[in-house]
Amino acid sequence: MARFNVARTSMLVVLGGLTVMACAAAHPYGPALTGEWGGRGINLTLTADGGTIDYDCAQGTLSGAVHPNDNGEFTATGTHEAFTPGPQNADAKPAKVGAQYVGSVSGSTMILQVQPAGADRMTSYTLTQGRRAKLIRCM
């Protein structure tokens, strides 16, 4: 009986240790940012799997969860698709390109810089957690 208890206890300790290691290996910076973030001309929705961005005249995605480091900084990759004013041609291929997203979070404020592939520079946005901005689509 004592041998069974030792084996059972050892098994529980090993399983507990493996569980802790698996959770620690999930991501070095902790839980993913989630929720709605909005700013002038931009709305960002983040989930545990990634995110979507709506701009006045574009849209984008973030591939994968956003995990800020200890300083609140993060990077992400995804897509960016710019729209043109007026009706969109149904037969035209979308101008979807890869994009780099660089940001930082402090409290309920996020600074997000967006650089679509081929762009010369990043565009910076200031977003507030829990805010939804009114977007004015391409005119």
Q: What is the pLDDT of residues 119-131, one digit of tens each?
A: 999 999 999 999 9
Q: Which of 1-15, 99-113, 116-130 has the lowest mean pLDDT?
A: 1-15
Place of tokens 């997000």: 112
Specify the pLDDT at position 97.
96
Q: Which two tokens stand for residue 137?
A: 């689509």
The backbone torsions φ and ψ at residue 91, rounded to the nearest 5 degrees and listed phi first, read -90, -10
Q: How is the chain split into domains, by residue range? A: 1-30, 35-129
27 band by pLDDT with thresholds 50, 70 and 90:
low
% pLDDT > 90, the chain: 65
68 within 8 A of 75, measured Cβ to Cβ: no
Q: Is the pLDDT of residue 19 over 50?
A: no
* Four-residue CA torsion sign, 94, 95, 101, 107: negative
Task: Name the pTM for this structure.
Answer: 0.75
23 band by pLDDT with thresholds 50, 70 and 90:
very low
Q: Where are the beta strands (DSSP E) in the chain?
A: 35-39, 42-47, 50-55, 58-63, 73-82, 96-106, 109-116, 123-129
